[in-house]
Amino acid sequence: DAGVTQSPTHLIKTRGQQVTLRCSPKSGHDTVSWYQQALGQGPQFIFQYYEEEERQRGNFPDRFSGHQFPNYSSELNVNALLLGDSALYLCASSLAGTGNQPQHFGDGTRLSIL
């Protein structure tokens, strides 16, 4: 039973560039959430996708955008990268309608901005 997979594992970009991170949810899950975990901090909710639409959004600027595909996989896009975007980006999946069940997390993509 494949868990949540994320790619790439590491990424180095420079300020002003754009980046795309990818996530495949756990088998059987249809909802994908993205979190940003800065060094020494807890994860912060970016947004959530279900049925290819953004359902909830945290306090992140429009530079952060996403997409969900028909196979439930998802992408996180960040434009005009800033030094402060350096973080571990975590993808979590769940099954819609099961709000009391835990989200399953991938191992993350570590993004470094130079």
Applying CB under 8 A, the residues found at the interface with another protein are 4, 31, 33, 35, 40-45, 48, 50, 55-56, 58, 90, 92, 94, 96-108
Helices (H), 13-98: none
Output 9 or 79, the one with its CB closest to another protein. Answer: 9
**Which two structure tokens, joined as six digits, stand for 56?**
């909830």
User: How far apart (Å, rounded) are the C-alpha atoms in residues 88 and 34?
Assistant: 11
Q: Shortest approach of another protein to residue 110 CB, angstroms?
A: 8
User: Which token pair is 109?
Assistant: 């993509």
Nearest CB to another protein, comparing residues 33 and 74: 33
Shortest distance in whole angstroms from residue 32 CB to another protein:
11
Q: Look up residue 59 and give its two tokens.
A: 């306090």
